[in-house]
Amino acid sequence: MSEATTAPPTATGEPRGRSWRSVLQALELDTRMLGMIGALAVIWLFFNLLSGGAFLTPRNLWNLSVQSASIAIMATGMVLIIVSRNIDLSVGSMLGFLGYTMAMVQVNWLPNVLGVSYHEWYIWVIAIAVGLALGAVIGTFTGFIISYGGVPSFIVTLGGLLVWRGLIFRYAQGQTLAPLNETFQLFGGGPKGSLGDVFSWILGLLACAGIVYTLIAGRRRKRRYGFPARPLWAEAAVGVVGCAAVLAAVWIANSYTWPEALATQYAQAHGITEPPGGLIIPTGIAIPVVVMLGVGLVMTYIATRRRFGRYVYAIGGNPDAAELGGINVRRTIMMTFTLMGILAAISAVVQTARLNAAVTGLGTQNELDVIAAAVIGGTSFAGGIGTIPGAILGAVVMQSLRSGMLLLNVDSPTQDIVVGVVLVAAVGFDSYLRRRAG
């Protein structure tokens, strides 16, 4: 035992005994990520204790997942922007502008110009396509001014924050646009905007298959080049824990059932006679959460497995080295903003769909939550450091704090104070750990 704890890290990755350190080493897990998961667990248990068990209920956790989705989606893009030593303060206004435009397309333009009703099935496709395209254009434009115009991103996006919000008020004139296309509404979640139990299980099983495949493929690749691989027990442990976590999440989402009134409505509409005690319909994973997971997966792939992502990190680590390495730094920076625009559009879909309306204040102050999520998730303003899963977890931590305090009837100013203190403390603690680790 004592020998194992003092032993230097072995190149072969084989555990020398069963001390915690060697076990962790063999598992090759990201300790920072584990620390964040641990912190989240503490927060959850804390609120559960204080609220008398009201926090860790399927209903609350399901709500938490939906509430985190929109911020988490944008936080994945904010990571790349902060990693490359920039900032985007305009995401909230951009989201509002894009959400308003998509609502306008459904409610005004298509019905008035083409004379088609917003009920038509294809309306949502057009609205979302317009939103994504416009998001990409706005983002690219912002990025162009930053990288080719040489104006600092802080200034350009501060301007964007004002401009996009101003434009909403100019062409909305205080109007709220509603209702929206029924299919479009599903992206906001709610009992109807969820997968239900069968599809949730299928998604869960697919995720498990993905985990197992990734582990096997990774092992095979290491074998091919003769690199040391994790011991088999470690691979199995990672696989089992990963799959268990996925299936547990699905089980919780399915444990949250439709509210009684809605279930009764559904039963009547479909001519089902309600059993005594009411019809039980499992909600399953909400569609915005599925969107968020999809975005997280794609963004992780982009960040870690594509040239573009590698360049973003290289620029953040050493812009001169990136330039001398032949990387087109300006274009890469511009593209991070293009991506941010697209992600703001996706979040705009989620938020407007959830409200089933576009309001002029949509997305106000979202930029602060998004930046906070990325930073709590371990993204460093010094550049070059930050992960997509970390940012998603950061968004969940932020939302957990807010929703927990809401459950405890903490008033909104106090909530802000707590979130502010936690943000600074988390980053302070993180940089302390980093300094100590060298």
Q: Which residues bind other proteins (CB under 8 A)?
A: 11, 221-222, 224-227, 301, 304-307, 310-311, 313-314, 316-318, 320-327, 384-385, 438
The residue type of 277 is: G
Which residue, 232 or 437, is less far from other proteins as judged by CB? 437
Least Å distance between CB 327 and other proteins? 5
- Minimum Å gap between C-beta 16 and other proteins is 17
Distances (CA, A) of 291 to 110, 127, 144: 26, 17, 28
* Among 74, 105, 104, 64, CA closest to 347: 74
Least separation in angstroms between CB 171 and other proteins: 40
The residue count of the chain comes to: 438
Torsion of CA 421, 427, 433, 438, to 10 degrees: -150
Bridge partners for 286 per DSSP: 194
**Closer to other proteins at the Cβ: 78 or 322?**
322
Give start and end residues of each alpha helix (H) in 10-57.
20-27, 31-50
| Cα–Cα distance list, 433 to 24, 307, 383, 426, 436 (Å) | 18, 30, 17, 11, 5
- State the Cα–Cα distance between residues 190 and 202, nearest whole angstrom: 20
The CB-of-311 to other proteins minimum distance in angstroms stands at 8
* Residue among 18 and 305 whose Cβ is closer to other proteins: 305
**Residue 92 or 390: which CB sits closer to other proteins?**
390
Cα dihedral sign, 141-147-149-155 = positive
CB of 308 to other proteins, least distance (A): 10
Nearer to other proteins, 3 or 320 (CB): 320
CA–CA distance from 55 to each of 186, 287, 399 (Å)?
25, 22, 12
Task: Rank residues 46 and 301 by Cβ distance to other proteins and give the closer one.
Answer: 301
Q: What does the alpha-carbon distance between residue 228 and residue 238 come to, in Å, rounded to a whole number?
A: 17
The pair of structure tokens assigned to 321 is 């080295």
CA distance to 80, 138, 280, 340, 409, per residue, from 131 (Å) = 21, 10, 36, 13, 37
Give me the helix-helix angle, 58-83 and 329-355, nearest 10°: 160
Q: Which is nearer to other proteins, 104 or 329 (CB)?
A: 329
Nearer Cβ to other proteins (165/230): 230
**Cβ(139)–Cβ(342) below 8 Å:** yes
For other proteins, the closer CB: 18 or 306: 306
* Min dist. Cβ of residue 176 to other proteins (A): 44
